């Protein structure tokens, strides 16, 4: 390990600074405008350095400090900031419990490939390993959860460590980096260098190779040979498209060759959901027509997706008619890990897709029959729910809210049924408008993440769609929203329980609602919101007042809180049970399933039948 220096000289190079001052100066150089965090003894020097850095500067040149109710909240705020902006989110906490409270956000960011940097205070170097007050083995704990962890034991490498952390966080497959800084390293004074990185030879070689890894002529020809042999190609886009800012390239690729797109939960927004080639989300709670398209396709093109269990389910039965499977991913380890492929490229998604569009200019496919089939499936197997009930249906609430926001809002969620309804019924015109915890499925994510997203995008409407179980997890962050006047809109869909758990208990556990029924709980969320300073805090239980109430809620200037009492028995459909294939998908009582495959094949034996009108044939 060695340092690498640039030839540019920093205007503050040579200035005497403490380690804490160096940390803040490097953060400023990296363009950090907001730090989320909670102070404490081992990190106090750096908090003091923030105060002194901001002193006398105009607001635009200051680094904003947002103090949450809990360090976990700080982590999710940084994650929401990063997911909404594409920039590295930063959170700053003290040692011991301050650091251990951040384990869940770090693991959540690792699972969803989100670039954040966590700086933790640590006890002085001489006290490490002595079970000193508020000491925790941060390096050991975080190494299993983060992309990389630094224990900064040398004060003369501190500023290089901070810069390198940002490089690692945003390079290749993004992820969280943790820096553990002993208190005496923060206090140690020395000259500010103003440049330099820590050199990791293998990592840098891999990153350089990925950047230079373009699709060759031979590989391009092989790809279009497979696409040319196909009649029903389908793009399966994941969160990697969002993380690599490849949405524009994906849309151009889809349009250039007329290929429909399904997205994962994390890939929502990579294509405009209102586009005729969009089939919305696939997987466990994907749309029926998206899952049917996966069943029918003869070529699957995976972009920035990893065939996880909530998508692939029974892997052997996933995309059963696909003769060809192409996979584009920045992480070569993902290619072939779950599903065998017939064509692959390890590299940046945007560059790869752009290369393929350029290399396929002479390729003029005719997928008209497939388009007709897809259009029919979207019409015949559309999302639906109980529209006759006198109880408020959560899907209806989101439909109306979507009409009001016109697909332009940034939507964050907690985890559970409300998360799936939001994914299904909202429109998203642009990437980074959907902020949710995917792989980890972390309850308590929505509220703090929405605060971070709103700070990153001050001019956009940001809505947290939450459930009563998920909101409870980080309820203290309601006060953070009002303290900093963050105008986030918190919509609570209250079904008096852990809805998704109860849905599984109904389906698989004989209606034994063990631990999931919250109907006897005494929490008054509206009163709690008012106590935390929300000037708009209302409860909606009248179906006739849905639109008027939602309009007032969205238009309110400043933080707003709305609790909607929804049908406790509303389920999320479609549903593909754990470990099951798409053929076993349950569409529920209101979504029209397609007819059994045997009947369709029998009809298809008559050559006069229009095959594009037989969904089960493909």
pLDDT in tens, 356-390: 999 999 999 999 999 999 999 999 999 999 999 99
pLDDT band at 519 (very low <50, low <70, confident <90, very high): confident
- If pLDDT is split at 50, 70 and 90, which confidence band does 612 have? very low
2-210 CATH: 3.40.50.970
Strand ranges across the sheet with 560-565: 434-435, 410-413, 462-467, 489-494, 560-565, 536-540
Per-residue pLDDT at 14: 95
Do 140 and 178 contact (CB within 8 A), yes or no?
Answer: no
**How far is residue 321's CA from residue 194's CA, in Å, rounded to a whole number?**
57
Which pLDDT band, with edges at 50, 70 and 90, does 5 fall under? low
Q: pLDDT for 136-154, tens place per residue? A: 999 999 999 999 999 999 9
Q: What is the pTM of this model?
A: 0.93
Active site residue 225: no
Higher-pLDDT residue of 4, 137: 137
More confident position, 517 or 264:
264
Question: Pick the residue with more confidence: 446 or 209?
Answer: 446
- Which among 17, 22, 36, 71 is annotated as catalytic? 71
Portion of the chain with pLDDT greater than 90, in percent: 91
For residue 420, what pLDDT is reported?
A: 98
Chain-centroid distance of CA 396 in Å reads 24
Tens of pLDDT, residue by residue over 542-576, are 999 999 999 999 999 999 999 999 999 999 999 99
Residue 47, SS3 per DSSP: helix
Average pLDDT over residues 320-341: 95
CA 418 to chain centre: 16
* Residue 579 CA, distance from chain mean position: 23
489 within 8 A of 446, measured Cβ to Cβ: no
* 3-class DSSP assignment, residue 259: coil
Dihedral in degrees, nearest 10, Cα atoms 206, 207, 210, 211: -150
CA end-to-end distance (rounded Å), the chain: 55
Q: Does the annotation mark 183 as catalytic?
A: yes
The mean per-residue pLDDT over the stretch 17-37 comes to: 98
Catalytic-labelled residue, pool 420, 443, 500, 575: 500
pLDDT confidence tier of residue 6, bands split at 50, 70 and 90:
low
What percent of the chain stands above pLDDT 70?
A: 95
209 pLDDT band (50/70/90 cuts)?
Answer: confident
| Active-site entry in 133, 255, 340, 527 | 133
- Considering the chain, what is the average pLDDT of its residues? 93
The CATH 3.40.50.970 domain(s) of the chain lie at 2-210, 394-565
The three-class DSSP label of residue 254 is helix
Over range 271-296, report the average pLDDT: 97
What does the pLDDT read at residue 613?
41
- For β-strands 560-565 and 34-38, DSSP reports them as unpaired
Q: Is 133 one of the annotated active-site residues of the chain?
A: yes
Apex 464 CA angle, 114 and 588, nearest 5: 95
φ and ψ at residue 7, rounded to 5 degrees:
-90, -15
Topology (CATH) of 394-565:
Rossmann fold (3.40.50)
Summarised one tens digit per residue, pLDDT across range 252-279 is 999 999 999 999 999 999 999 999 999 9
Which are the contacts of 165, defined by CB distance < 8 A and separation ≥ 6?
117, 148, 150, 177, 179
71 in active site: yes
For 544, other C-beta atoms within 10 Å of its C-beta total 7
pLDDT confidence bin for 615, thresholds 50/70/90: very low
Catalytic residue among 22, 147, 183, 193: 183
At 458-506, the pLDDT tens digits run: 999 999 999 999 999 999 999 999 999 999 999 999 999 999 999 999 9
597 confidence band (pLDDT: 50, 70, 90): low
Which residues make up the CATH 3.40.50.1220 domain(s) of the chain?
215-378
| Model confidence band, residue 348 (pLDDT cutoffs 50, 70, 90) | very high
Sign of the C-alpha dihedral computed for residues 534, 536, 540 and 546 taken in this order:
negative
The answer to whether 134 is a known catalytic residue is yes
355 burial class (0-12, 13-18, 19+ CB within 10 angstroms)? buried
Query: 134, 204, 248, 518: which one is catalytic?
Result: 134
The pLDDT score that the predictor gives to residue 8 is: 74
What is the CATH code for 215-378? Answer: 3.40.50.1220
Res 1 pLDDT > 80: no
**E strand spans, 219-306:** 233-237, 261-263, 278-281, 299-303
């Amino acid at each position: 390990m060695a340092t690498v220096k640039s030839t540019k000289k920093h205007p503050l190079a040579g200035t005497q600074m403490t380690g804490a001052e160096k940390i803040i100066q490097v953060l400023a150089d990296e363009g950090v405008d907001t730090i989320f965090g909670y102070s404490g003894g081992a990190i106090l020097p750096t908090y003091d350095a923030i105060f002194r850095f901001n002193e006398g500067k105009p607001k635009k040149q200051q680094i904003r400090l947002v103090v949450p109710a809990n360090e976990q909240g700080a982590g999710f705020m940084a994650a929401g900031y990063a997911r909404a902006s594409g920039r590295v989110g930063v959170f700053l906490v003290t040692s011991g419990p301050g650091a251990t409270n951040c384990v869940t956000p770090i693991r959540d960011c690792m699972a969803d490939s989100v670039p954040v940097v966590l700086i933790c205070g640590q006890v002085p170097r001489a006290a490490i390993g002595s079970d000193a007050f508020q000491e925790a083995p941060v390096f050991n704990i975080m190494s299993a959860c983060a992309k990389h962890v630094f224990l900064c034991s040398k004060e003369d490498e501190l500023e290089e460590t901070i810069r390198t952390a940002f490089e690692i966080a945003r390079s290749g497959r993004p992820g969280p980096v943790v820096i553990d800084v002993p208190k005496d390293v923060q206090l140690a004074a020395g000259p500010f260098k103003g440049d330099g990185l820590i050199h990791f030879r293998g990592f840098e070689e891999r990153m350089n190779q990925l950047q230079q890894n373009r699709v060759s002529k031979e590989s391009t020809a092989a790809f279009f040979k497979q696409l040319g042999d196909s009649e029903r190609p389908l793009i399966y886009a994941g969160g990697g498209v969002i993380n690599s800012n490849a949405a524009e390239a994906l849309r151009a690729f889809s349009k250039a060759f007329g290929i429909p797109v399904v997205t994962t939960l994390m890939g929502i927004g990579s294509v405009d959901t209102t586009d005729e080639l969009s089939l919305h989300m696939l997987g466990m709670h994907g749309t029926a027509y998206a899952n049917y398209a996966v069943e029918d396709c003869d070529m699957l093109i995976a972009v920035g997706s990893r065939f996880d269990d909530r998508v692939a389910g029974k892997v052997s039965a996933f995309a059963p008619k696909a003769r060809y499977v192409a996979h584009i991913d920045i992480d070569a380890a993902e290619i072939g890990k779950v599903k065998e492929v017939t064509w692959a490229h390890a590299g940046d998604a945007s560059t790869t897709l752009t290369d393929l569009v350029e290399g396929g200019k002479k390729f003029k496919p005719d997928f008209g029959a497939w388009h007709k089939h897809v259009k029919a499936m979207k019409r015949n197997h559309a999302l639906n729910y109980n529209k006759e009930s006198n109880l408020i249906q959560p899907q209806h609430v989101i439909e109306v809210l979507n009409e009001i926001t016109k697909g332009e809002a940034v939507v964050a969620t907690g985890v559970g049924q409300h998360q799936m309804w939001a994914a299904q019924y909202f429109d998203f015109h642009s990437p980074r408008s959907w902020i949710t915890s995917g792989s980890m499925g972390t309850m308590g994510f929505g509220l703090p993440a929405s605060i971070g997203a709103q700070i990153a995008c001050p001019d956009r409407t940001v809505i947290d769609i939450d459930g009563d179980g998920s909101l409870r997890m980080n309820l203290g962050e309601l006060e953070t929203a009002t303290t900093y006047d963050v105008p986030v809109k918190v919509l609570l869909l209250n079904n008096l329980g852990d809805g998704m758990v109860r849905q599984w208990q109904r389906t698989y556990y004989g209606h034994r609602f063990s631990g999931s029924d919250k109907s006897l709980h005494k929490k008054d969320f509206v009163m709690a919101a008012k106590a935390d300073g929300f000037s708009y805090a209302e409860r909606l239980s009248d179906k006739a007042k849905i639109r008027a109430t939602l309009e007032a809620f969205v238009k309110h200037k400043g933080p707003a809180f709305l609790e909607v009492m929804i049908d406790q028995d509303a389920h999320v459909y479609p549903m593909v049970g754990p470990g099951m294939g798409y053929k076993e998908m349950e569409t529920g009582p209101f979504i029209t399933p397609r007819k059994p495959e045997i009947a369709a094949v029998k009809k298809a034996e008559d050559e006069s039948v229009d095959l594009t009108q037989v969904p089960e044939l493909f």
